[in-house]
Structure 1
Amino acid sequence: MGNDGVSNSDHLPSIMVTNDDGIDAPGLRALVAVLVSTRRFHVLVCAPHSEKSAVSHSITWRHPVAVKRVEIEGATAFAVSGTPADCTSIGLSKALFPTTPDLVLSGINMGSNCGYHIVYSGTVAGAREAFFHGIPAVSMSYECYGSRPNILQDFTLAAQACVPIISAIIDEIKSNSYPSSCFLNIDVPADVANHKGYRLTKQGKSIYKMGWKQVTSDTHGKMLSSMTMDSTSPAPMEIDAPNLSQEHTLFRREVIGGEYDEDADDDGDRKVLKEGYITVTPLVALSQTDTGSQAYFKSWLPGVVERSSSSAL
């Protein structure tokens, strides 16, 4: 597989695309088509073979991943049985492509990734993994949910709206002036045709209130279960809920309240996205240390042993 891909003699910059919605997702297909149509890039694709939404930065460790060549016009593409982080990692390893891409794009995700949802996002993880490897990366999401009659056209507009940013990043990479201390998270508003432009934002604190609801096999259908896995399992097994024993009770997540945001800052990502802007949020690999908490625990920690000894008397 390593012999497939772009020629080393061709100096067009290369962009690798991954996602968490799967290699057949309209967001990825639209993004790839738009990138190919510019004729400015070599386009590589290394994406999950099926949907891997909300897997965060999980990786496959205990069993191999399967890789299959996929035909996508204008691109060299592979589908991988692993997570978005797996896809980025193997795509950068030169096991599939002869050279390391200049830029990794993860998306375009169906649904926004703002605030605390960034932690859950497989889309963001696809870009974060590239950042771990020292490769510039961008995660990209579009605020749309469910089926829409013109979904591919909408994603195409979202991709086209992001091309100026992608092109500018490539130019900065060429001149060795692009910062290596972060990666970017971009969210495109629902009404992309009438977006208000780009706004630099920061990660806010928005999150949907989630709960759990007990369900029956009739309402749940098939489920992915770790209860059938062991160290020799080749992959998670899909099982029919009716085949579960009577000892098992089924629950599924559900939204129990609207989205809330404790961050009142005007430059929070979710707030600015709702105003109709394309948000551009620099992210780092780890959460930043809270300075207020640092001060508190600096005075608190030395007394922990003393208080523990006193309470034992």
Structure 2
Amino acid sequence: MKETWILSMENPNNVGDDGGSDRPTIMVTNDDGIDAPGLQALVRVLVSTNRYRVWVCAPDSEKSAVSHSITWRHPLAAKSVEINGATAFAISGTPADCTSLGISKALFPSVPDLVLSGINIGSNCGYHIVYSGTVAGAREAYFYGLPSVSISYDWVGGTSNINDFTLAAEACLPLIHAIFVEIKNKTFPQKCFLNVDLPTNIPNHKGYKLTKQGKSIVKMGWKPVSSEAQGAQMLSTMTMEQNPVASNSNAKTESQEQLLFKREVKGGHVEDGETDYFYLKQGYITVTPLGALTHADIDCQSFFKEWLPPVADRCM
């Protein structure tokens, strides 16, 4: 592993230039971190085709469920790492940061032709798309008009194994090749990006299935915990400066024992109908076009169309 760190947004040496290859360029990111088996498998399979120039710009550690958060107040560090056949950097930021930096021409010498985010460990369907850092990695590219795809594998503990990521990457190749045909012809839609989920039994998948985002979500709850180690860890991340104004008040404070809570799974909900999660569980590779904006259902629009004017009149 190289120990090259880039601490600014400048790239005077054209880091990542491979001599002006005329092959199309794919940039890969994820949210599980640059060492994750899903990303490694995807890059390895892409490189093996010898059809693409492959760049990697991914988080230096796990950034799952960070959604579309970005780093704003401090610089990002980019560390060059060795991935056979690719030019790769580990970034001290979120998936959206990685995509933004990777397509900016500050780190690499040009803008990639396609951005792939994944392969994520676990599916990203329904409402979980909102939480997903993997989907955000593709969405960020879409914001800037670049074709992009987020890819997730429905990993199930005790059933799945690490080789499934290679099979998942290979199953995506026809889709990736077809996307490049549209990119070359300038016919790839610019009003969406794609979210792809691969079923657990990937060797026996039923093929591609065009779907729409559903409303599936794993119900989460909270339970109290009493671990001193957890408490110490939480204290270290919640240290706050004392408010000097408050310290001058006459209010008395009492030392209270900290309450600790941890998330727990309460169960899942899957709606009926032709949705992403439904078809994924049927064994299909689901392909779901997504946009940046979520529009309210028409019945909500109708309700508030009647509701808002009287409210506004009372404010006059």
Aligning the two structures, in what range does the TM-score lie when normalised by the shorter sequence? 0.7 to 0.9
Distance across 1 between alignment mates of 2:188 and 2:256 = 57
1:125-144 alignment, distance < 5 Å = 125-144=136-155
The one-letter code matched in structure 2 to 1:261 is V
1:188 to 179, 198, 213: 198
TM (norm. structure 1) is: 0.88
User: 5+ residue gaps in structure 1?
Assistant: 231-244
Find the counterpart in structure 2 of residue 284 from structure 1: 291
Find the counterpart in structure 1 of residue 252 from structure 2: none
The one-letter code matched in structure 1 to 2:283 is G
- List per-residue Cα deviations over 1:291-311 (Å, max 9, x = no partner): 2211111111111144578xx
Distance across 2 between alignment mates of 1:89 and 1:216 = 40
Distance across 1 between alignment mates of 2:240 and 2:93 = 16
Secondary structure of 1:209 counterpart: strand
Distance across 1 between alignment mates of 2:215 and 2:161 = 31
What's the C-alpha RMSD, in Å, of the aligned pairs?
Answer: 2.1
How far is the alpha carbon of 1:248 from its aligned partner? 2.5
User: 5+ residue gaps in structure 2?
Assistant: 1-5, 242-254
How far is the alpha carbon of 1:252 from its aligned partner? 1.3
How far is the alpha carbon of 1:171 from its aligned partner? 1.2
Find the counterpart in structure 2 of residue 236 from structure 1: none
Distance across 1 between alignment mates of 2:58 and 2:42 = 13
- List per-residue Cα deviations over 1:95-154 (Å, max 9, x = no partner): 110010000000000000000000000000000000001110000000004477841x11
Find the counterpart in structure 2 of residue 102 from structure 1: 113
Distance across 1 between alignment mates of 2:233 and 2:174 = 41
Distance across 2 between alignment mates of 1:135 and 1:64 = 24
Q: Check if 1:50 corresponds to 2:61.
A: yes
Find the counterpart in structure 2 of residue 240 from structure 1: none
Distance across 2 between alignment mates of 1:149 and 1:114 = 18
The answer to whether the 8 A contact 2:21-2:53 is kept is no
1:203-218 alignment, distance < 5 Å = 203-217=213-227
Find the counterpart in structure 2 of residue 175 from structure 1: 185
2:265 to 219, 231, 255: 255
Q: 1:210 to 1:171 in 2, by over 3 A?
A: same
The answer to whether the 8 A contact 1:131-1:183 is kept is yes
Distance across 2 between alignment mates of 1:292 and 1:253 = 33
Distance across 1 between alignment mates of 2:135 and 2:232 = 27
The one-letter code matched in structure 2 to 1:274 is K
Distance across 1 between alignment mates of 2:76 and 2:232 = 23
Distance across 1 between alignment mates of 2:231 and 2:159 = 24
1:294-305 alignment, distance < 5 Å = 294-305=301-312
The one-letter code matched in structure 2 to 1:9 is G
Q: What percent identity do the matched residue pairs reach? A: 66
1:144-163 alignment, distance < 5 Å = 144-146=155-157, 150-151=161-162, 153-163=163-173
Secondary structure of 2:197 counterpart: strand
The one-letter code matched in structure 1 to 2:199 is P
- List per-residue Cα deviations over 1:148-171 (Å, max 9, x = no partner): 7841x1100000000100111011
Q: 1:190 to 1:215 in 2, by over 3 A?
A: same
Distance across 2 between alignment mates of 1:247 and 1:145 = 38
Find the counterpart in structure 2 of residue 242 from structure 1: none
Aligned residues: 291
Moved more, 67-76 or 57-66: 57-66
Find the counterpart in structure 1 of residue 281 from structure 2: 274
Q: 1:222 to 1:85 in 2, by over 3 A?
A: farther
Find the counterpart in structure 1 of residue 212 from structure 2: 202
TM (norm. structure 2) is: 0.87
Q: 1:187 to 1:226 in 2, by over 3 A?
A: same
Distance across 2 between alignment mates of 1:288 and 1:274 = 26
Secondary structure of 1:300 counterpart: helix
Distance across 1 between alignment mates of 2:212 and 2:233 = 36
Q: 1:199 to 1:134 in 2, by over 3 A?
A: same
Distance across 1 between alignment mates of 2:82 and 2:240 = 32
2:36 to 15, 25, 28: 25
Q: 1:84 to 1:216 in 2, by over 3 A?
A: same
